[in-house]
Structure 1
Amino acid sequence: MFEHFLLPVDGSPLSDSTFHKVITFAQETEARITVLHCSSHASPVGASVPVRDRIAQDAQHHADRYLKGIARKASAAGIKCETAYVSSDRLVKVIVATAEERGCDLILIAPHGRWGVQPLTIESIRESILSVSDISLVVV
């Protein structure tokens, strides 16, 4: 059976709903989870370095707060939970790399969501992940 899930989240209501389903699944299977928040925060064209740095810092701060809340909810449900934040517009690469680095044996994704600036559908994300990884994938 699966022991370590990777759940990419984006902060949307659908993502939060998926998180709660994954918590229930993790309780039933006694699995642990890694929750990944990957976002792309494009800077305005011509933005100065200090402006770009500030945008990145704000994104990191927001992600840290969001992921701490996720980790608290998982812990309250008795689930071991790690979190990760990556700023990148290469969502599929980040998902697969995180799953491999963390030793996840199942990737769980919401049926749709905000995927940064990439014009990706859930089908293209699913197919892209499956084409570059042997890790099992389920759309929740």
Structure 2
Amino acid sequence: MYRKILITTDGSSVSSKTACAGVTFAEQLGAEVLVLFVAPAYQYPIYVEIIPPSYPSEEEYRAALLRAGDEHTRDVVQACLQRNIRCTALTTFAESAATEIVAAGVKHGCDLIFIGSHGRSGWGQLLLGSVTNKVLSQSRIPVLVHRLIAEPEYKN
């Protein structure tokens, strides 16, 4: 059915749990995984005439966020390795995470986007805006939304 699944992560606990569910789903289908972290694009400080010495250069910023992307995608890559699932990790930079997620899915030949949702509804969803909603509205690739309503209970 699906051969290559794009799983998104932003490093939050919700996206980590979604990524775990995505790996399980990929394993059930025998699908390959592309795990994606979208970092915010570098922004020059426009409110000052001289860039403060403490402000990171674009190269420093990119290096730091590439390291963060490696950290955020590491668990998914490890879970895939343990289950013999082919997996590629990717960190990209963009002003709009939703647009970049959709573009990455198309560029890398994914046939499903697996993305999380906090499970908000009504005003909470409307006021906060949602990357998931934007992906749903922009994507021509099927999108599977993993909705995490409550944190799972762990038993020791």
The two structures have a TM-score, normalised by structure 2, of: 0.73
Give runs of aligned pairs for residues 26-65 of structure 1, distance below 5 A.
26-40=26-40, 45=45, 46=48, 47=51, 51-53=56-58, 54-65=60-71
Structure 2 CA distance, aligned partners of 1:102 and 1:25? Answer: 19
The equivalent of 1:139 in structure 2 is 145
Letter in 1 for 2:22: V
Aligned residue number for residue 6 of structure 2:
6
% same residue: 24
What's the TM-score once normalised by structure 1's chain length?
0.80
Please give the alpha-carbon distance, in whole angstroms, between the structure 1 residues aligned to 2:14 and 2:135: 20
Q: Is the 8 A contact 2:10 2:72 kept in 1?
A: no
- RMSD, aligned α-carbons: 2.5
* Consecutive unaligned residues in structure 2, runs of 5 or more: 120-127, 147-156
Residue 91 of structure 2 corresponds to 85
Bigger Rg, which one:
2
Amino acid in structure 1 at the alignment position of 2:11 = G
* 1:78 Cα offset (Å): 1.7
Size of the alignment, in residue pairs? 132
More helix as a share of residues: 1
SS at match of 1:6: strand
Bigger drift between 63-72 and 73-82 goes to: 63-72
d(CA) in 1 for partners of 2:101 and 2:7?
Answer: 9
Q: Unpaired runs of 5+ in structure 1?
A: 114-118
